Structure formats: structure tokens, C-alpha cells
Amino acid sequence: MNSTGLGPADTLPAQGSGARPGRNLQVLPDSVDWRALGKVTSVKDQGNCGACWAYAAAAAIESAYLIARPSVSAADVDMSEQQLVSCVNAANGNWTSRGCDGGWSDEAINYSVSTPLLTEARYPNTPGAPRCRANLVRTSPAGTFVRLATGASRVPPGSELSLMQAVALQPVVVYFSVSPEFHAGGLYTGGGCTNLVNHA
């Protein structure tokens, strides 16, 4: 099992795999704190499942939903990471993600364009990566899911300006390198970072 949960071999899928170039802002704000604006949901624990990619994607989708619907509170938004772990899976179609053995957030976000992402209450977390419950997805009533209008965009590696532009629009998924020691809490300031990414 991939202990952190990024994709197989920790190499990013090709740019043509569904990720699109992001929008550019001509004028950047001096700062933006999406947490203070109430557009970031609570931190969740992926447990022993290497699905950081799904948790990061669900959090980005939750934030996009909150930005699009200003009257909704972050406490009221909880999308299903389990649906992403189980359904955005190499066993279920044209995905490279492998459930609890790693995956890519852009695949999960792009899945949520074509398939409704259910709430955690409707599609609850189950240990491991059980089979996709596609029938539940197809038969869910309004109010128990969101569907994205657009898919994932990719920020060019090493482009701080592009990253600032993306963050000015909404919270983003970031891949980074962590050391083998597990982090207990707070800000991660691990040394020895490399260009190889293994966590989202």
C-alpha cells in the first residue's frame, strides 16, 4: 500500500489526461485566506487508506461549491471521499487511480464533472476501497450530491505566479514530498524535499 496515497510511481499523468490550463487573473489580490472567508471545510483523516488524492479533491470540490453558493456554510458541506476512492479506480474505467493504493486528484475532480459527487451521509466512508456503488450514484435524490461544471486545471510546475492566480480564484490541491516520518499536526516543515511528490 502507498502510505501517503499519491499515484502509481508518483509521476503526474500527462497534461492531456483531462487537466486543462487554468484561468489567468490580470490583477492579484494582496492576500486571500479562504479559511477566514468560510470557504474551507474541516480537515479529515484518511486513516490507513492511501487516498490523500481523493481527500484533497473532495476538499477542493467542497470549496468550489462554497464559493459558488455564498449562503451555504462550510459546516453544512461534506462530500464523499469514499465515492472517489471506490469509483475513480482503474478497475472501473479509464482511470489510473487505485483506491487506497494511490491516485490523482485531477482524475477525481474530472469524474465529478460527469458523475454527481454524493454527500458523505449518502455515500459513507468504508474501510478500504470497496466496489463502486454506481446504482446509489444513479438513484440519489436532489440535495444529496453536487456536480461540477468544469474539471481540473493544472498549474505549471515551478510557476509561483500561476499558483498565486489559481489560489486567488479558489483553494487548490497541491502535491508535495513528505519524509517517511508521519506528521502529528500543525504546519509541515519537513526537510530534504525533492521534486518527487508523494502526498496531496
Model confidence over 142-159: pLDDT tens digits? 666 777 767 788 888 888
Q: What pLDDT, on a 0 to 100 scale, did the predictor assign at position 19?
A: 40
Q: Virtual CA dihedral for 65, 71, 75, 80, nearest 10 degrees?
A: -30
Q: How far apart are CA 16 and CA 140, in angstroms?
A: 31
Q: Which residues pair with 20 in a beta bridge?
A: 153
Q: What pLDDT, on a 0 to 100 scale, did the predictor assign at position 153?
A: 80
Write the Ramachandran bin of 12: left for phi over 0, alpha for psi from -120 to 50, otherwise beta.
beta
Q: Which of 52, 87, 100, 132 is catalytic?
A: 52
CATH for 33-169 is 3.90.70.10
Q: How far apart are CA 114 and CA 67, in angstroms?
A: 20
- Does 52 participate in catalysis according to the annotation? yes
- Does 100 participate in catalysis according to the annotation? no
Q: What pLDDT, on a 0 to 100 scale, did the predictor assign at position 156?
A: 87
Length of the chain: 200
Q: Which of 49, 87, 132, 199 is catalytic?
A: 199
Domains of the chain, by residue range, sit at: 33-169
Q: What pLDDT, on a 0 to 100 scale, did the predictor assign at position 3?
A: 47
Neighbouring C-beta atoms of residue 73, cutoff 10 Å: 10
User: Which stretches of the chain drop beneath a pLDDT of 50?
Assistant: 1-3, 8-22
Q: What are 43's three cell numbers?
A: 480537515
Q: What's the whole-number average pLDDT of the chain?
A: 80
